[in-house]
Amino acid sequence: MSKKADRIRLSMRLGLLLACICTASDSFGQAQEKGPGRALQEGLFSLNQIDLHVHAGKERPLPLQNWIDLFVRDGRRVLLLLDHLELYRMEEKQNRDWVAKNQFTDWYPDPATAKDDFLKELSQLNRRDILLFRGWEIWEGELDEGLEKEAMRKVEVIGWHFSKAAWQGKAPAGRELIFRARQILAVQKEFPVPMILFHPFNGHIKAVREDAKKAGRAPNSIPKAEYRYFTLAQQSELIELLSGSSVYIEIERDWAILWNDPVVREAFMEDIRPLAAGGIKFTVSTDAHGTRSFQAPFRPEVYCNDLGITPENANAIIRELLAIRAKKSLP
Ligand SMILES: [Zn+2]
Ligand SMILES: [Zn+2]
């Protein structure tokens, strides 16, 4: 058996042990990660300073500089600015109707240049108070149907939008995520940039609740096992695939709502802690589309602490992006 397989098994055992200790505790909110992080605080952004999923293009409510100011005022120091790539494929009239219907400002009205206009605006920001990266959010179905390669070559990060739309209406879970992880690793050979699996978990929880409702069951009757996203074998397989890779998994803010349900919380801790202990890296984000995002403070540490997602873990992608930038700037 390979050393890597041994390491993974050890990590799994450690992760499960941590999950058990944490589950046994009745103070979920206070449990502190004692994980492997030893990094200098000076070299880390705290979790609430990081937001690696900010819609900064066609749907943004304000001019770009003012939109970024809101994040800075709320404590953020690192943003991944992006937009849904498919929004830039609309014809002129289609775009006009879409803007009017949603009461947006038509920031990029020319379909022929909209993508480049958006990326150019991002690259000209020249802010010294915040670290900014540029990306696209791309629907996961494009991994099956074909990729828009030219656009993908122009960004620093690609986030894959998970949704049941790519799975005949059935919310994806562990098996589907592993399938995508393999596809993404393959695609990354052609596009060597960090990639993130965006919001893969929430759809599953909602689907479990909808199924229970259809069967006439109350939400509080749903057992933990029904909420679980991964099997033990899937966790092991995913660690083997993604540990040490540049494919990251997002924990977005929507989780804050689900975090109040103790059964969901416990299931999710059992799903995530072994992955983090096994070396998978995560990102934290708001997925902000509008000013509604600022109605409540961004506090990812509330759930990340119990999920075993340390600042060291969430800073991994930032360190990688900075290294890529620095390397590109050298002769
Ligand atoms: Zn999305
Ligand atoms: Zn998004």
CA of 184 to the centre of ligand 2 (A): 18
Q: In which band, very low, low, confident or very high, does the pLDDT at 12 lie, cut at 50, 70 and 90?
A: low
Contact 283, 52 (CB under 8 A): yes
What is the tens place of the pLDDT at every residue in 25-51? 333 333 344 455 578 999 999 999 999
Task: Tell how far the Cα of 173 is from the centroid of ligand 2, in angstroms.
Answer: 19
CA gap 32, 81 in Å, rounded: 31
What spacing in Å lies between the alpha carbon of 29 and ligand 1's midpoint? 27
Task: State the average pLDDT for the chain.
Answer: 91
Ligand nearest to the CA of 198: 1
User: What's the predicted TM-score (pTM) here?
Assistant: 0.89
- CATH value of 47-329 in 3.20.20.140, 3.20.10.10, 2.40.128.120, 2.160.20.10: 3.20.20.140
Q: What is the mean pLDDT of residues 147-173?
A: 96
Ligand in closest contact with the CA of 200 = 1
The rounded Å distance from CA 277 to ligand 1 centre is 26
- pLDDT number for residue 10: 52
Confidence of residue 258 (pLDDT cuts 50, 70, 90): confident
Task: Please give the average per-residue pLDDT across 243-270, as a whole number.
Answer: 93
**Residue 320: is its pLDDT beyond 60?**
yes
- List Cα–Cα distances, 9 to 59, 111, 266, in angstroms: 44, 51, 22
Q: Would you list the domain boundaries of the chain?
A: 47-329
pLDDT at 32: 41
127-156: b or e for each residue (b if 16 or more CB lie within 10 Å)? eeeebbbbbbbbbbebbeeeeeeebbeebb
If you average pLDDT over each of 49-53, 255-259, 295-299, which comes out highest?
A: 49-53
Across residues 133-137, what is the average pLDDT?
A: 98
Structure confidence at residue 140 as a pLDDT band (50, 70, 90)? very high
* CA 9–ligand 1 middle distance (angstroms): 32
pLDDT classification of 9: cutoffs 50, 70, 90: low
Structural tokens at position 233: 């074998």
Q: Say which ligand is closest to the CA of 83.
A: 2
Amino acid 6: pLDDT:
57
Evaluate whether 191 touches 153 at the Cβ level (below 8 Å): yes
How many A from CA of 198 to the centre of ligand 2? 7
pLDDT over 60 at 112, yes or no? yes
Ligand nearest to the Cα of 161, by number: 1
- Centre of ligand 1 to C-alpha 161, Å, is 4
Residue-level pLDDT at 261: 94
CB of 8 closer than 8 Å to CB of 239: yes
From the CA of 139, the nearest ligand is 1
pLDDT at position 256 is: 78
pLDDT computed for residue 24 by the predictor: 38
How many Å lie between the centroid of ligand 1 and the Cα of residue 237? 25
> How many angstroms is it from 255 CA to the middle of ligand 2?
14
Ligand nearest to the CA of 165: 1
What pLDDT, on a 0 to 100 scale, did the predictor assign at position 1?
44
What pLDDT shows up at residue 7? 55
Percent of the chain past pLDDT 70, that is, above it, reads 89
CA of 192 to the centre of ligand 2 (A): 21
- In this prediction, residues 80-89 reach a mean pLDDT of 97
